[in-house]
Amino acid sequence: MNPADPDESAQELKRAAERICVLILLDDYPKIDIEIEKANLKRRVREIFPDKVYLYEMIYESRFRRLWEQWRQEGGSSA
């Protein structure tokens, strides 16, 4: 991938975020591993788009939190 291509970089981040969403939906995937995936994604956002980290927080973290609340409430198999 050409690091100067913002479209390819954005697609990379989108794929990683979609993967995390799927992992949240898999109730047998451990929370700690999801947290590691999220940290890796945030690190990658900082590397590729350092001035857009606030967008990561606004869009992706809130999406991950909503999915977790909907699918992994307290008392769930992996919560």
Domain ranges of the chain: 6-71
> Residue 2: which of 10, 30, 52 has the closest Cα?
10
72, pLDDT greater than 90: no
CB distance 39 to 46 below 8 Å = no
> Residue 34: which of 67, 74, 76, 70 has the closest Cα?
67
Tokens of 56: 């990561």
Res. 67 pLDDT band, cuts 50 70 90: very high
Res. 73 pLDDT band, cuts 50 70 90: confident
User: What pLDDT digit, counting tens, does each position of 31-53 carry?
Assistant: 999 999 999 999 999 999 999 99
Q: What is the pTM of this model?
A: 0.82
